[in-house]
Chain A
Amino acid sequence: MIRRALLAVLAAAVLGACSAPPLRVYALSGAGGGDEGLRVTALAKDGQLLVSFSLADGLTRELRQAIDSGLPATITYVVELRRPAALWFDGTVASATVTATVRFDNLTRQHQLSRTIDGRGEEPRVTEDEEEVRRWLTEFDRLPLFSTAQLEPNMVYYVKVRAHARPRLSGGLFFWPWGRGGKTGFAPRFTYLGDDRG
């Protein structure tokens, strides 16, 4: 009996440790919440749901140092179109993954910038302007990520964005790396009234 109880406690602890990050995200879910640094807006127009988001403190000192050291730095944004549920977890209608990557060449002193949306790459760019690098990594304006055909009229939706940067460099307890999650932001809830009336 004692052996079984201790085994159950052990299994629960391991499971809890492994599932800690997603549980934390679920706890924060809900329109209007999330981290202050990640601002999200959504606009339905021309059959598309245009999502804009900016990560205010996305280019942290650690990430800047990583970029300067020549490491490729990527910020990944997981954008989810969600429908609130009263008695259960909110449902995800659609999701898209947006990545912005920068790599700095210390020889030419140029930043190579690239972005992908759901794996589809845009034309890479080269710049020496650090402000442009910051904007490239942290500001996204009116990305046509979702089609309004996925939305039902008169239903309430919201957009949730989770952002996390790689490489993850901030410290914590050396044997407890799970304290360094990303940031989460939510667009205000909106009621989809129909085509082109967002």
Chain B
Amino acid sequence: MLTLRDVPPPTRRPAVRPRGRRPFRDNPLQILAVIGLLAAALGLALTFASGSWRYSPDFLTEFVLYALSVADLTMILALVFVLARNIIKMMVERRRGLPFARFRSKLVGALLGMTLVPAVLVLLVGSELIRSNVDRWFNAPMEEIVASANRMASDYYSERQLLTSGTAARLSRALAALPFPEVDPVAVRDVIQPEVAQQRVSMVEVYRVARARTGAPVVSSVVDVAVPSLPREYNRASADRLAERVAAGSREAHGPEPLGNGGQLLRAAEPIRARDGTLAGVVVASDFLTSEMAARSRQMTDAYEAYNQLKVLKNPLLGVYLSFFLMVTLMILVSATWMGLYLAARITRPVQRLAAAARAIGAGHFDQRLEPETSDEFGSLMEAFNTMASELSVSRQNLERSARTLERQHQEVEARRRYIQTILDRITTGVISLDADDRVSTVNTAAARLLGLEGDQEGRPVGELLGRPDLEPLAKLIAVARPGDADKPAQEVSLAREGRELDLAVATATLHGQGGAIEGRLIVFDDITPLIRAQKVAAWREVARRLAHEIKNPLTPIQLCAERLARHFQGAPPATRELVTECTRTIVGEVESLKGLVDEFSQFARMPAPRRIPTALPPLLADTLGLYVGLFRDVTIETRFPADLPPVRIDPEQIRRVVINLVDNAIEAMDRRGRVVVEVQHAPAERLVHLIVADNGPGIPEGEREKLFLPYYSTKRRGSGLGLAIVRRIVAEHGGTIEVTANVPRGTRFTIDLPA
């Protein structure tokens, strides 16, 4: 049973709050910082997306698309993680039956539904819109326009290149007539000057080709002629490389050379072959394109290329846009999901904390406190809870103090009760306590033993408890003495229990409670049987002494007078003499008989105290029983002595008298025909020696057995009735007891218990 002592001592508990540093969800600054970071990331992404068309394809396909995809994947996993974690958590909470688990599940479900459904719809519709918009970028008219423009610029370029190449070829054929390689530069100039003068080309450069030792062609400039209007920013090395490539046999004989002012030189080179077909020189003709013309051509081509590049990059760009859109959607979804869970937690968590704290208080932790996380109604609720917990704690402390006092008092009472109980259990006085309804409260050991009560008697009516016939005198006495009566002196009550007379001195007392109210009664009784018995014996001894004194004194004169009468009438007539003789003989005989009787009474009255010495009981008994050998023909005396019987401290003469008395009684009871068993038993555990004398005579009725030991009680025709009284007295003065029971199968059995 749980008692106040079992409750653990109160320990001061800190207010219920998350351990460690403040969690993210309860830190507004951190939340704001994260929101700011997300907004910045979103702005950055928007800026990036708006300029995505400017980025190189490699950057788009090798970095941007991967980065966005990783971001999308991460956010999808984060979303799945957040959802799965919270769904599992809510399922566990619902299974455990935690408070508000169902409410929280419904709240989170509603918030997620309100977020997920629109977000997915926006994602689907938005993706389709992006696709259709990107498709619209590429339409047939625009493609034709930019393609035509590029074709025009390219054709113009090609045409000018062809003209330059034609001029270079014509000059090559004309210069082939000159003696290369040792050609006169003036002659060369004369050939090329008209072409330049007529502005068919802007510049002509002529090279001679010699052979090195390795056979490789070596190109060196012979002469160059340019129109005066040609800008001087052109690079001669460019023409030299072109000439070297042609001299080396390359077919790449033309190409543009950009100039610093934005213009271009369209160069064309032709080999000059001698009459034998050997390479003698190289002529490089260059046509100058003004910067305006070159720029316009390039613009048209750039527009065409930009359009086509956009077309080529359509899929990567579409992927970037869709991934970006997906990223934004996921960002919103993750944020909204987290916000939904956060709101649900903000609503249900304080209530859950309250419930947990209430459970803790219910379990006895009265120092449980809650730290208000907010200053709203939930905060006020927690303050009120803390106040209630404080008051409960104070009440609990007062209660515990009172309990400790009560416990101490209880212990004192209990100790006193045990003390009284011990006394009651040990004393020989019987005590029965009754409550106000005369029902038994307690029965001590002595009372149970004296009245022969067995088992638990608590609660029984006293009338029922004392309802047995042998307890009827006591029941009458209790019935007469009502609760509240003035306490009376003890009254003697004699009970006949198990064939024995039990004398009790019974007193009743009223139990008063506080204010004098009657709470019950006490029945106290003492076994005064030995006292009564001793009083009886003492009375008989006094009677015996007086009888011996008062009767014995006149007996001798009576006897002497009778003898004188007999002698006096010796001479009288025969008839008189016979009469006198007969009368005096009778008188003398009776006087002798009276003397014997008086002697016995005298012995009973003056019996000396036993002189106890260690005595071997079997030899003593054998010697005593030897007196009966041959006296009674039809009586068998059987002895049963143990071999290891220790010596017993007894007065041998008095015990011998006891045995003779018992055996005489047995023989007389059997009418001098039967068997007498004299047995000695040793009981080391009880430190007793049992001396048993049993016969198979007619036995003694149960009601007569206790009277046997009273003086002057005899069942024999002759006898003083003091034999067994003397026996009991001798045994009692040896510290023992004597008991008479029925022998099995018949007869009487006297058992004497002597201290071993």
**Residues of A bordering B, CB below 8 Å:** 2-3, 6-7, 9-10, 13-14, 17-18, 62, 65-66, 68-71, 105-110, 125-127, 166-171, 174-178
A125 to chain B, nearest CB (A): 8
A169 CA to B57 CA, complexed, in Å: 9
User: B residues 63-109 with Cβ under 8 Å of A?
Assistant: 65-66, 68-70, 72-74, 77-78, 81, 84-85, 88-89
Known: A2-B85, A10-B78, A70-B305. 18 other contacts (CB 8 A): A6-B85, A7-B81, A69-B305, A71-B57, A106-B154, A107-B150, A166-B58, A167-B57, A167-B60, A168-B62, A168-B316, A169-B313, A169-B316, A174-B322, A175-B69, A175-B72, A175-B326, A177-B61
The answer to whether A66 and B312 have CB atoms under 8 Å apart is yes
Partner of B308, one of A13, A69, A126, A175: A69
- The chain B residue sitting closest to A109, CB to CB, is B154
A18 CA to B77 CA, complexed, in Å: 14
- The chain A residue sitting closest to B66, CB to CB, is A177
A3 CA to B92 CA, complexed, in Å: 14
Partner of B77, one of A13, A71, A107, A125: A13
A169 CA to B320 CA, complexed, in Å: 12
The answer to whether A126 and B255 have CB atoms under 8 Å apart is yes
A7 CA to B78 CA, complexed, in Å: 9
The answer to whether B319 and A175 have CB atoms under 8 Å apart is yes
Interface status of B256 (Cβ within 8 A of chain A): yes
B141 to chain A, nearest CB (A): 19
The answer to whether B81 and A175 have CB atoms under 8 Å apart is no
Known contacts being A62-B312, A69-B311, A175-B68, is A13 close to B58, with CB within 8 Å?
A: no
A62 CA to B252 CA, complexed, in Å: 28
The answer to whether A14 and B74 have CB atoms under 8 Å apart is yes
Can you give 21 contacting A-B residue pairs, CB < 8 Å? A9-B81, A13-B77, A14-B73, A14-B77, A17-B70, A68-B308, A69-B311, A71-B309, A71-B312, A106-B150, A106-B154, A107-B150, A107-B298, A108-B154, A108-B161, A110-B255, A167-B60, A167-B61, A169-B57, A171-B315, A177-B69
Q: Which residues of A contact B304 (CB under 8 A)?
A: 106
B253 to chain A, nearest CB (A): 11
Q: Which residues of B contact A107 (CB under 8 A)?
A: 150, 153-154, 157, 297-298, 301
Q: Which residues of A contact B256 (CB under 8 A)?
A: 108
**Residues of B bordering A, CB below 8 Å:** 57-58, 60-62, 65-66, 68-70, 72-74, 77-78, 81, 84-85, 88-89, 150, 153-154, 157-158, 161, 252, 255-256, 297-298, 301, 304-305, 308-309, 311-313, 315-316, 318-319, 322-323, 326
Q: Which residues of A contact B57 (CB under 8 A)?
A: 66, 71, 166-167, 169
Q: Which residues of B contact A66 (CB under 8 A)?
A: 57, 309, 312
Q: Which residues of A contact B61 (CB under 8 A)?
A: 166-169, 177
A167 CA to B90 CA, complexed, in Å: 49
Known contacts being A166-B62, A175-B323, A177-B69, is A6 close to B84, with CB within 8 Å?
A: yes
B55 to chain A, nearest CB (A): 11
A169 CA to B62 CA, complexed, in Å: 11
Judged by DSSP, the binding face of B is helix
Q: Which residues of A contact B252 (CB under 8 A)?
A: 125-127
A17 CA to B76 CA, complexed, in Å: 13
A142 CA to B81 CA, complexed, in Å: 54
Q: Which residues of B contact A105 (CB under 8 A)?
A: 301
Q: Which residues of B contact A65 (CB under 8 A)?
A: 308, 311-312
Q: Which residues of B contact A177 (CB under 8 A)?
A: 61, 65-66, 69, 319
Q: Which residues of A contact B297 (CB under 8 A)?
A: 107
A136 to chain B, nearest CB (A): 14
Known contacts being A126-B252, A168-B61, A169-B312, is A175 close to B322, with CB within 8 Å?
A: yes
Q: Which residues of A contact B65 (CB under 8 A)?
A: 177
A74 to chain B, nearest CB (A): 9
Q: Which residues of A contact B322 (CB under 8 A)?
A: 174-175
- The chain B residue sitting closest to A69, CB to CB, is B308
A127 CA to B250 CA, complexed, in Å: 11
Q: Which residues of A contact B89 (CB under 8 A)?
A: 2
The answer to whether B77 and A69 have CB atoms under 8 Å apart is no
The answer to whether B308 and A70 have CB atoms under 8 Å apart is yes
Q: Which residues of A contact B308 (CB under 8 A)?
A: 65, 68-70
Q: Output the residue of A17, A70, A106, A176 with the most chain B CB within 10 A.
A: A106
A21 to chain B, nearest CB (A): 10
Judged by DSSP, the binding face of A is mixed
Q: Which residues of A contact B161 (CB under 8 A)?
A: 108
A129 to chain B, nearest CB (A): 10
The answer to whether B312 and A69 have CB atoms under 8 Å apart is yes
A66 CA to B318 CA, complexed, in Å: 16
A151 CA to B316 CA, complexed, in Å: 43
Q: Which residues of B contact A7 (CB under 8 A)?
A: 81
Q: Which residues of A contact B157 (CB under 8 A)?
A: 107-108
Q: Which residues of B contact A167 (CB under 8 A)?
A: 57-58, 60-61, 312-313, 316
The answer to whether A10 and B309 have CB atoms under 8 Å apart is no
Q: Output the residue of A7, A66, A170 with the most chain B CB within 10 A.
A: A66
A6 CA to B68 CA, complexed, in Å: 22
B745 to chain A, nearest CB (A): 86
A50 CA to B182 CA, complexed, in Å: 46
The answer to whether A69 and B309 have CB atoms under 8 Å apart is yes
A106 CA to B85 CA, complexed, in Å: 58
A130 CA to B256 CA, complexed, in Å: 20
Q: Which residues of B contact A178 (CB under 8 A)?
A: 66, 69
The 4 closest A-B pairs by CB, nearest first: A69-B308, A70-B305, A167-B57, A174-B322
A107 CA to B297 CA, complexed, in Å: 7
- The chain B residue sitting closest to A64, CB to CB, is B312
A18 to chain B, nearest CB (A): 7
The answer to whether B74 and A106 have CB atoms under 8 Å apart is no
The answer to whether A10 and B326 have CB atoms under 8 Å apart is no
A23 to chain B, nearest CB (A): 16
Q: Which residues of B contact A175 (CB under 8 A)?
A: 68-69, 72-73, 319, 322-323, 326
A170 CA to B326 CA, complexed, in Å: 20
Q: Which residues of B contact A125 (CB under 8 A)?
A: 252
Q: Which residues of B contact A9 (CB under 8 A)?
A: 77, 81
Known contacts being A107-B301, A168-B62, is A3 close to B85, with CB within 8 Å?
A: yes
Q: Which residues of A contact B88 (CB under 8 A)?
A: 2
- The chain B residue sitting closest to A107, CB to CB, is B301
A68 to chain B, nearest CB (A): 7
The answer to whether A13 and B73 have CB atoms under 8 Å apart is yes
Q: Which residues of B contact A70 (CB under 8 A)?
A: 301, 305, 308-309
- The chain A residue sitting closest to B297, CB to CB, is A107
Q: Which residues of B contact A10 (CB under 8 A)?
A: 74, 77-78, 81
A171 to chain B, nearest CB (A): 4
A172 to chain B, nearest CB (A): 8
The answer to whether B319 and A174 have CB atoms under 8 Å apart is yes
- The chain B residue sitting closest to A66, CB to CB, is B312
Q: Which residues of A contact B73 (CB under 8 A)?
A: 13-14, 17, 175
A68 CA to B143 CA, complexed, in Å: 14
Q: Which residues of B contact A127 (CB under 8 A)?
A: 252
- The chain A residue sitting closest to B320, CB to CB, is A174
A83 CA to B641 CA, complexed, in Å: 115
The answer to whether B70 and A14 have CB atoms under 8 Å apart is yes
A193 CA to B195 CA, complexed, in Å: 67
A127 CA to B252 CA, complexed, in Å: 7
Q: Which residues of A contact B77 (CB under 8 A)?
A: 9-10, 13-14
- The chain B residue sitting closest to A167, CB to CB, is B57
Q: Which residues of B contact A13 (CB under 8 A)?
A: 73, 77
A170 to chain B, nearest CB (A): 8
B264 to chain A, nearest CB (A): 10
A33 to chain B, nearest CB (A): 26
A146 CA to B62 CA, complexed, in Å: 29
Q: Which residues of A contact B323 (CB under 8 A)?
A: 174-175
A126 to chain B, nearest CB (A): 5
A69 CA to B146 CA, complexed, in Å: 12
